[in-house]
Structure 1
């Protein structure tokens, strides 16, 4: 079923009748199948919707942390673009700055989103790249806000560079300094998440758990890359792979590896669909949200797939909020599963194949 923002877009389908358009970070791939034969390109920062759209729709699809006209077949500026409202306000600011450079002077830049997600407050952000931002439609508890892009206003700002939106921070991880690069919209942005801290405390530099780790290790849902980078930095015997559904997270993890002079591979993947290796150890602070909505199935599917891709006698370690129902899933899937640490907020689980 189409998301409410996509339903509002289809209600305004006449927008696409003239010129070239971009749909940016649509929350569902089906919107492309409902649109007629317009000149539309899908721009994605999330690999799951990107792959679905690439496999099922007739339109060009691009997956990247940031976008430029070199990625587009015609390399011509868009007449308009519609951005699906992200959860993080700073991510929206970044997307507006990026897309404003790809839309021609006088073209339209629009934001679509649910009222409860904050669509009513986006006009001020759009007015940084054009004048007289206004709501052109509202229905299904959503709004569609538009501004006419002014090349003169866009030119007053420096050329878009995703790195200028990034933040470098150095954290003490079990007494070891680690520099982390983060971007808006990525888990762990500007903070050392306390759940991740608790998880990494189980892998102190002189601990048997860290020293005995070897072979292929997966950091699933890597975010800023702090878990995988720390493990690889502290144990030269392992080969680290990181994966995340977000192109922004992939970019952050690559930067974090470089900042710490650590080698590793980073893969964009919906769950573990693009992760083709088998592993001796899997470690994760897995997500339980899809956008603003709680979604337990993400971790449940990950646990099942991680078991399939873990070698005999391999292990899994995850941290989860205490209210999340993962104990039974782990016990039903793995040969042995136990709670290593329990606080008033988090549980650290360990499971063995």
Structure 2
């Protein structure tokens, strides 16, 4: 059981009735709170919960439509995403109760101040290196417009400027990260056909690929609903075609791909997690056609080359700068 869930269960009577658990972990909490419903924006966690508790956890960027008398927000990593989620939940809870739970190392005490626009927050519990806060919603906000919260910024590429649209919670929100910048400079010579931007984030790599290789068919895949929405907005802002989908990881990607391009994620909330990237390296060959290429950027300290060579083939380093490397390997 996740320690945040354990803290909630110490106060289980508070969560009797139709309570919404927003951003809940994929553990047994729903089984302990039989009237609660879940809402997740991470596809792998939502699918795990749906398999265990059918019909009790929804996926997406918007608060589920069903009625609830209170809501618990499991603190996400992003402050901007926390602001959006608290406002979206509070808008549905006039005179209702809103709880915030999170780990101390994730900044729960600081984040608790984000409850202040809605009422007077108070700390209910502190255990398992976590805290639980509560506010009764006295000041009800208007439901936030997610798209209005987007940050838009230009990115220069070899094939012209792109407009990137980034939503709260998306990796490198509102700016181009160093790794993606390096990879954007090394997109030449890719095989054309079906091309995947894996872990697409705000869609900057996918948009650049479609601009450079207009005859290719672009796919974008991410586990995060906010990233999927961002990528769709980025493609629309640049009048570019492409198929954007949520997925658990490389297992949900198309097959017979000409190329997989990625600045793969390695964080899950405040935790470091390389599982999705390592699975990509192990399984990429199954999704590439013969001669298809995997090209990715990663921190230089990560020893990805041996894993790539073990599962795909000879690995080349195309570039190295600012603590990042661009790797390339083709399926034999």
TM-score of Structure 1 vs Structure 2, range by shorter chain: over 0.9
Matched, 1:42 2:38: yes
Question: CA-atom RMSD, angstroms?
Answer: 1.5
Matched, 1:117 2:106: yes
Q: How far, CA to CA, are the matches of 1:285 and 1:52 in structure 2?
A: 25
- Gap change, CA 1:149 and 1:79, over 3 Å in 2: same
Match of 2:134 among 121, 146, 151: 146
Deviations 1:100-124 (A, max 9, x none): 1222x22110110001111112232
Q: How far, CA to CA, are the matches of 2:109 and 2:71 in structure 1?
A: 18
Deviations 1:20-46 (A, max 9, x none): 11000113233223x142x21111111
Match of 2:84 among 90, 94, 105: 94
Match runs of 1:240-319 below 5 Å: 240-319=218-297
Q: Which residue of 2 aligns with 1:62?
A: 58
Q: How far, CA to CA, are the matches of 1:322 and 1:345 in structure 2?
A: 5
Q: How far, CA to CA, are the matches of 1:324 and 1:164 in structure 2?
A: 37
Q: How far, CA to CA, are the matches of 2:261 and 2:159 in structure 1?
A: 20
8 Å contact from structure 2 (residues 44, 247) kept in 1: yes
Give the gaps of 5 or more residues in structure 1. Answer: none
Q: Offset of 1:277 from its aligned partner?
A: 3.4
**Greater CA drift, 227-236 or 260-269:** 227-236
Q: Which residue of 2 aligns with 1:176?
A: 160
Q: How far, CA to CA, are the matches of 1:30 and 1:233 in structure 2?
A: 45
Q: How far, CA to CA, are the matches of 2:161 and 2:316 in structure 1?
A: 30
Q: Which residue of 1 aligns with 2:20?
A: 22
8 Å contact from structure 2 (residues 300, 325) kept in 1: yes
Q: Offset of 1:7 from its aligned partner?
A: 1.2
- Gap change, CA 1:219 and 1:23, over 3 Å in 2: same
Q: How far, CA to CA, are the matches of 2:256 and 2:172 in structure 1?
A: 27
Q: Offset of 1:63 from its aligned partner?
A: 0.4
Q: Offset of 1:236 from its aligned partner?
A: 1.4
Q: Which residue of 2 aligns with 1:228?
A: 206
Q: Offset of 1:229 from its aligned partner?
A: 0.8
**Greater CA drift, 115-124 or 176-185:** 115-124
Runs of 4+ in 1 over 6 A off after TM superposition: none
Paired residues, number: 331
TM-score (normalised: structure 2): 0.96
